[in-house]
Amino acid sequence: MTRNAPSKKLSGAEVAMHNSKDSCWVIVHGKAYDVTEFLPEHPGGQKIILKYAGKDATEEFDPIHPPDTLEKYLDGSKHLGEVDMSTVEREEKATDPEEGERQKMIQSKPDLEQCFNLTDFEAVARRVMKKTAWAYYSSGADDEITMRENHAAFHRIWFRPRILRNVEHIDLSTTMIGTPVSIPFYVTATALGKLGHPEGEVVLTRAAHTHQVVQMIPTLASCSFDEIVDARQGDQVQWLQLYVNKNRAITKKIVQHAEARGCKGLFITVDAPQLGRREKDMRSKFSDVGSSVQNSSGDNVDRSQGAARAISSFIDPALSWDDIPWFRSITKMPILLKGVQRKEDVLKAIEAEVDGVVLSNHGGRQLDTAPSGIEVLAEVMPELRARGLYPRPPGAPRFEIFIDGGVRRATDIIKAICLGATGVGIGRPFLYAMSAYGEAGVGRAMQLLKDEMEMGMRLIGARSIAELNPELVDTRGLAAGHTSIPRDMLSENVYDSLRQPLWKSKL
Ligand code: HEM
Ligand SMILES: Cc1cc2nc3c(=O)[nH]c(=O)nc-3n(C[C@H](O)[C@H](O)[C@H](O)COP(=O)(O)O)c2cc1C
């Protein structure tokens, strides 16, 4: 049944009658939609929609669908009109024991002032986030070796501090691809911001403005690109992270729109021709939609791959070095490759005349046992110096090197800058701070990094970013591989171990 331009609002009871696969209506943002015919085509599978048949699906729908999804994919005749939300029965959340437990955790979460470092936000987020959201943010690929190594690798680099250097005044400011910043880190691109916070990525935009930090906007944001740009204030700078679409016309449109809206850098993700298998995410997803034994809906879509698999099916695995000139031809924004993982590819990137690279393994979410960004940096920089490619010779085109992955302390940032990075990207910590405490949390996380960095610079005897150099760090531990180091209890205690499959309850 469909109704066009209804004169009066639908009641909750009317919608609730359409609660099966034979007639399935759902409410999203106060409007009802008839998805009966759409069910078998739904890229997220039928089961998830059927769970909300006859009900309000907004909370589940919002974080994982861009705002224009309904207009784009659901025929206008299936848009049934407004619902009188005062007549819609509220689901009693506390009936789900896990949700009840989570609500209790939210009530008793530590005051924001009790978070003294970035790992503290992770510890709180782990308890207060929805299970599926936590699984999506915290997961890494396969055995999560790379994800953990990203953080651990920093501990194999030690400082060689200088003393008696008159460190009264410390200046953390620098520039990143031409943009002045207050401190050399940026908020890197992380998809699906609304999983962690109902307002999504704009929360990060606001905090980044307050702290004069650059934000990289993800292709797969929950907010629309324009919403995130509209949230920008003053001369705040944003970059675009790009997943390249098989349909290059779409990619061209995205890139040129971003440039027209003032984005100052294009970061093409090159480490994700296929999304990694993130098992925590897959497991949480699986239990959320019910086991296959309960699958009576005839749903043939494999939904076991976890959040983001379906929404990323457009990414082009055929992307190659040959495409770089085309990107140059469609934009004047600086172009950087995000996800470079070996020295040889850095050299190729210089040859290809891109503006830089991010040494990154996608936060350990792609190829497990790929090396950490900081380790690749330590390998690359001596080679570039030996070849006279760094520092850049006079007249040579710009080439800046960033790293991301596992940065949790300002000492990690300092180590990267000492080795030759222009700046570092930080992903999960800001997501966790946002999920647990909103904008104030992200702001505090940024301030903590600034405080830590000022102290760290003083204690190693460097007054400005320009004074950080390789002579201040000892990287022999990297060459020695996995030497024994004191265990990092903060991070180990919060680390959420991979789990085995759940046993069926006894019959
Ligand atoms: C009402 C009309 C709906 C439309 C038009 C729609 C459309 C879509 C589209 C296009 C995708 C793939 C995204 C992409 O490839 O860019 C998707 C994925 C998905 N949708 Fe929907 N959807 C609808 C309703 C819902 C509802 C009500 C729910 C849940 C309550 C839901 C849950 C999901 C999930 C879980 C995914 C897969 C992403 C993942 O694996 O986590 N959808 N949907
Ligand atoms: C939840 C999540 C989503 C991400 N989404 C994207 C994405 O859409 N595109 C991308 O290029 N990188 C993405 N990344 C990778 C980050 O940009 C970055 O490489 C990584 O998070 C850095 O590691 P860190 O989280 O340890 O700081 C994502 C990372 C996380 C944790």
Can you give the pLDDT at residue 384? Answer: 98
pLDDT exceeds 60 at position 304:
no
Tokens read off for 347: 């050299």
* Per-residue confidence band for 273, with pLDDT thresholds at 50, 70 and 90: very high
Residue 375: the pLDDT is 97
Best residue among 61, 302, 315 to mutate for probing ligand 1's pocket (most ligand atoms within 8 Å of CB) is 61
pLDDT score of 504: 67
CATH number at 419 reads 3.20.20.70
Q: Is 360 in the pocket of ligand 2 (CB under 6 A)?
A: yes
Residue 290 resides in a domain: no
CA of 308 relative to ligand 1 center, distance in Å:
10
pLDDT the model gives residue 488 = 80
Instruction: Please identify which residue in the block is written with the tokens 């090159």.
Output: 270
Spacing, Cα 208 to ligand 1 middle (Å): 30
For 174, the 3-state DSSP assignment is strand
Query: What DSSP string runs through 39-65?
Result: GGG-TT-HHHHHTTTTSB-HHHHHHHS
417 found inside a domain: yes
How far apart are the C-alpha atoms of 434 and 205, rounded to whole Å? 11
H or E element at residue 450: helix 428-460
What pLDDT was estimated at residue 43?
77
Give a yes or no: residue 149 inside a domain. Answer: yes
Q: Decide if 297 is inside a domain.
A: no
- Residue 435: band (very low, low, confident or very high) from pLDDT cuts 50, 70, 90: very high
Report residue 171: phi and psi, to 5°. -120, 115
Write down the ipTM of this complex. Answer: 0.86
* pLDDT for the residue numbered 29: 93
What's the alpha-carbon Rg for the chain, to the nearest Å?
24
On average, the pLDDT of the chain sits at: 90
Residue 270 included in any domain: yes
Half-sphere exposure of 319 (CA within 13 A, CB side): 23
Peptide bond preceding 391 in cis form (omega within 30 of 0): yes
- The pLDDT of residue 5 is above 80: no
Domain that holds residue 223: 132-274+315-481
The share of the chain scoring above pLDDT 70, in percent, equals 90
* pLDDT of 506: 57
* 294 pLDDT tier (thresholds 50, 70, 90): very low
Residue 41 lies inside a defined structural domain of this protein: no
Which tens digit of pLDDT belongs to each residue from 324-369?
999 999 999 999 999 999 999 999 999 999 999 999 999 999 999 9
Q: What is the mean pLDDT of residues 412-428?
A: 98
- Whether ligand 2 lies within 6 angstroms of the CB of 338 is answered as yes
Alpha carbons 504 and 492: distance in angstroms, whole number: 29
Q: Is the CB of 310 under 6 A from ligand 1?
A: yes
Q: What is the mean pLDDT of residues 141-156?
A: 94
Poorest-pLDDT segment among 217-221, 428-432, 466-470, 503-507: 503-507
Q: Is the CB of 137 under 6 A from ligand 2?
A: yes
| Arithmetic mean of pLDDT, 240-260 | 96
String of DSSP letters for 249-318 = HHHHHHHHHHHHTT---EEEE-S-SSPPP-HHHHHHHHHHT--GGG--S---S--TT-TTTGGGTTB-TT
Q: Is 80 in the pocket of ligand 1 (CB under 6 A)?
A: no
- What per-residue confidence (pLDDT) applies to 117? 95
179 located within any domain: yes
Measured in angstroms, how far is the CA atom of residue 217 from the centroid of ligand 1? 21
Provide the annotated active-site residues. Answer: 243, 271, 362
The Cα–Cα gap between 2 and 79 comes to 8
Lowest mean pLDDT across 40-44, 113-117, 195-199: 40-44
| pLDDT tens figures, 57-108 | 998 898 888 777 898 889 999 999 999 999 998 876 556 788 889 999 999 9
Which of these ranges, 106-110, 164-168, 453-457, has the smallest mean pLDDT? 106-110
Residues 6+ apart with CB under 8 A from 486: none
Q: Where are the beta strands (DSSP E) in 145-281?
A: 158-159, 174-176, 179-181, 185-187, 214-217, 238-242, 266-269
Q: Between 248 and 307, name the one with better pLDDT.
A: 248
Other Cβ atoms less than 10 A from the Cβ of 31: the count is 17
SS3 162: coil
> What's the structural domain count of the chain?
1
Name the pLDDT band for 303 (thresholds 50, 70, 90).
very low
Other Cβ atoms less than 10 A from the Cβ of 440: the count is 13
Kindly report the length of the chain.
507
- pLDDT at site 297: 37
* Residue 308 forms part of a structural domain: no
